[in-house]
Structure 1
Amino acid sequence: MSDTLKDRVRQAASDEPPEQPAMTDLALNDSSMAWLQSRATYFTDALPRHVDRAHFMSVARAIMPNLSKCTDLSITSALLACARFGLEPDGRQAAVIPYGDTATFQPMYEGYIELMYRHPRVDSVHFNWVREKDQWDYEPTAPSPKDFFHKPRVDLTEEERGKVILAYAFAWIDGRRSQVIILNRSQAEAIRDKYSQAYKKAERNQKHDSAWHTDFDAMWAKSAVRRLVKVVPTSHELAELVQADDDADDTTAVPSVIRGTVITREDQDTGEGEDQRHGWPTAAEPGSGAREGGEQE
């Protein structure tokens, strides 16, 4: 008699109902997909022309099971925000995160980079981490682009390269490199402690469920990229994304996968925009002690 048969005989003799395997609520999934399909035109009509509508809806369908307890209104609002900015809710450009019964739009650092490209003067945008054993140098008084150098140790694994010590971001604009935005861990912590309402609320409630608690590196990366908004030509659309991000601060806590990013002009369609300065302060050099203006995360 096999072990499986023995188990069944023993279970029957005990007169106890067998343990049932976890089941997916197919009716619930079908209902959520039907709901999304019935409103597809709301979202696709809001998308910029360069965003593939079928792909956007495919990504939206993939996240619907995670939003089963959220209200229709909050899901509609969050997905419309993604569509309006032309950001896919894939956890890379943007995310839709359930908090209780509320689905919340959360832009990610790659979403900021995506919108930066829509200014016709921006050629490329770069983000990366500097680790302990990497080769790097920063001399702010040297002429660009000789002021900053970073060469990752490709002969080592990411773990062997050591801990992250800096996040940095810069752009090439009209053939020239922008100021390099450099953010060390202590600066990221200072931003968190001073400006994040979500972090303060989570600390008060001892829940430790804010984005700064659940994925510090994701917020560190976004903080560096958000500062780049202050030193590149930006659009009204990008300024609105900063504001939407600030508005979501009290309720969001988003996970993310962070890695170096280099995107070139050939990968992107562009749109017209106007130069604006909005949101975060002009970046101070690491260790300079320079006072930073108002910023919020």
Structure 2
Amino acid sequence: MTDLTDRVKQAAAAAEADSPPPVTDLAVTDTALHWLQSRQSYFTDALPRHVDQAHFMSVALSIMPALVKCTHESVHTAFLACARFGLEPDGRQAAVIPYGDKATFQPMYQGYIELMYRHPRVDSVHFGWVRERDQWDYTPTEPSPRDFFHKPRVDLTEDERGPVILAYAFAWIDGKRSQVIILNRAQAEQIRNKYSGAYKKAERNAKRDSAWHTDFDAMWAKSAIRRLVKVVPTSHELAELLKADDDADDTTTAPPVIRGTVIRNDDQADNADNRTTWPAAAEPGSGATADTDGGEQA
């Protein structure tokens, strides 16, 4: 996805080349939206009971125009991953990001926190940023909770508080505070350089389009929260989210399999995986099947 600045640059470059800027194909977008709606039951059936189905589909439909150039299989798999974990693809709990023609599921740090809260022993989870002029102290030899202190400068604006110097996270478990996870920028960069396949690939191809390039702070925050996962009561669901997140970042592998969920994708029956014509599709259980020409057969 491109932001407003990028679109302005594209338009300016097109004008210099005496060619018109790219135009959104509304017909393709409308057909893609219909395609997603026709598969609604696949996603809503996978959602946990506490997640509002209508709101989930509304969020999914709102980002579909950005995914019209992605393969059907990758879009289906990415949204099914969101549904499986009960995370909305709103860019806060999770995101579905187009990398070329592949739609990729990527959990955000709020998504990890959401899954932590589902454990009955976890009372609360806290994430925060320490800025340069904030009051803070960390003395690991002190007993919890006296080992860590942070008081933001509420008398200053965010800019006046200075740049972010630390990300931190902790949880309250059975009435007791967990270990505090503290991550500075250099440590976040080390994690990025060592573990992120997407970052390395974006550096090699000079596209610089990985999440570490486009939203470093979000990935910094997620790195801190992922470390917190190691010190809170875990669950099978949280372990699966970590695995899916790692698989999505490893660009040398196939799209991740979301364990525990049956993935039915009518497009896999033919060679339609790489199409972007967004054919009509049968609703699960309707008795109709998608044909190879993109139409429906009763």
TM over 0.5: yes
Which position in structure 2 is the counterpart of 1:162?
A: 162
Equivalent residue number for residue 221 of structure 2: 221
Match of 1:202 in 2: 202
Query: CA–CA distance in 2 between the matches of 1:203 and 1:190?
Result: 15
In the other structure, the counterpart of 1:75 is 75
1:206 offset after TM fit, Å? 2.5
Q: Counterpart of 2:30?
A: 30
Once the 2 structures are TM-superposed, how far is the Cα of residue 178 of structure 1 from its aligned partner? 0.4
Cα deviation, residue 66, structure 1: 0.4
Return the letter of the residue paired with 2:218: A
Identity level (%) = 82
**1:138-168, Cα deviation, whole Å (9 max, x unpaired):** 1111111111111111111111100110000
Give the superposition deviation at 1:209: 2.0
Paired position in structure 2 for 1:239: 239
What secondary structure does 2:249 align onto? coil
**Which residue of structure 2 lines up, in the alignment, with residue 144 of structure 1?**
144
The answer for the alignment partner of 2:191 in structure 1 is 191
Q: Is the 8 A contact 1:96 1:105 kept in 2?
A: yes
Matches within 5 A, 1:20-169: 24-169=24-169
Q: CA deviation at 1:190?
A: 1.3
In the alignment, residue 69 of structure 1 is paired with which amino acid? K
Query: How far did residue 122 of structure 1 move?
Result: 0.3
CA deviation string 1:234-271 (max 9, x = no partner)? 1010001001110011349xxxxxxxxxxxxxxxxxxx
Q: Deviations over 1:264-294 (max 9, x none)?
A: xxxxxxxxxxxxxxxxxxxxxxxxxxxxxxx
| Pairwise CA distance, 1:33 | 1.6
Name the CA shift for 1:195/1:20 in 2 (closer, same or farther; >3 Å): closer
Check 1:49–1:161 CA distance in 2 against 1; reply closer, same or farther (3 A cut).
Answer: same
Equivalent residue for 2:267? none
- 1:21 offset after TM fit, Å? 9.3
Partner secondary structure for residue 248 of structure 1 = helix
Match of 1:257 in 2: none
Q: CA deviation at 1:205?
A: 2.4
Range with greater deviation from structure 2 (83-92 or 195-204): 195-204
**Aligned equivalents of 1:219 and 1:241: distance in 2?**
15
Shift of 1:100: 1.3
Q: What SS is found at the alignment partner of 1:97?
A: strand
Preserved CA contact (<8 Å) 1:128 1:167? yes
- How far 1:192 sits from its partner (Å)? 1.3
Letter in 1 for 2:129: W
Query: Deviation string for 1:53-80 (max 9, x for gaps)?
Result: 0000000010010011111111100000
Q: Secondary structure at the match of 1:188?
A: helix
**1:240 is matched by which residue type in structure 2?**
E
Work out whether residues 99 and 251 of structure 1, in 8 Å CA contact, stay in contact via their aligned partners in 2.
no
Residues 167-188 of structure 1 show CA distances to partners (whole Å, capped at 9, x for unaligned) of: 0000000111100000011111
Paired residue type of 1:102: K
Q: How far did 1:210 drift? A: 1.9
Query: For 1:192 and 1:24, how far apart are their aligned partners in 2?
Result: 34
Q: What is the rounded CA distance, in whole Å, between the counterparts of 1:199 and 1:20 in structure 2?
A: 32
Letter of the 2:209 partner, please give it. D
Whether the aligned pair in 2 keeps the contact of 1:47 and 1:85 (CA below 8 Å) is yes
RMSD: 1.7
The TM-score, its normalising length taken from structure 1, stands at 0.76
State the Cα distance separating 1:45 from its structure 2 match. Answer: 0.1
Whole-angstrom distance in 2 between the partners of 1:88 and 1:251 = 23
| Structure 1 gaps, min length 5 | 1-18, 253-297
Cα distance in 2 between the residues matched to 1:167 and 1:66: 31
CA shift for structure 1 position 24: 4.6
Per-residue CA deviations over 1:180-224 (Å, capped at 9, x if unaligned) read 000011111111122222222222223222222222111111000
Residue 130 of structure 1: how far off its partner (Å): 0.1
Paired with 1:86 and 1:124, the residues of 2 have a C-alpha distance of: 19
Structure 2 match to 1:283: none
* Range with greater deviation from structure 2 (100-109 or 187-196): 187-196
For residues 192 and 159 of structure 2, the distance between their equivalents in structure 1, rounded to whole angstroms, comes to: 26
Unpaired segments of 5 or more residues in structure 2?
1-18, 253-298
For residues 193 and 25 of structure 1, the distance between their equivalents in structure 2, rounded to whole angstroms, comes to: 38
Structure 1 position 22, deviation (Å): 7.5
Q: Which amino acid aligns with 1:185?
A: R
The answer for the alignment partner of 2:211 in structure 1 is 211
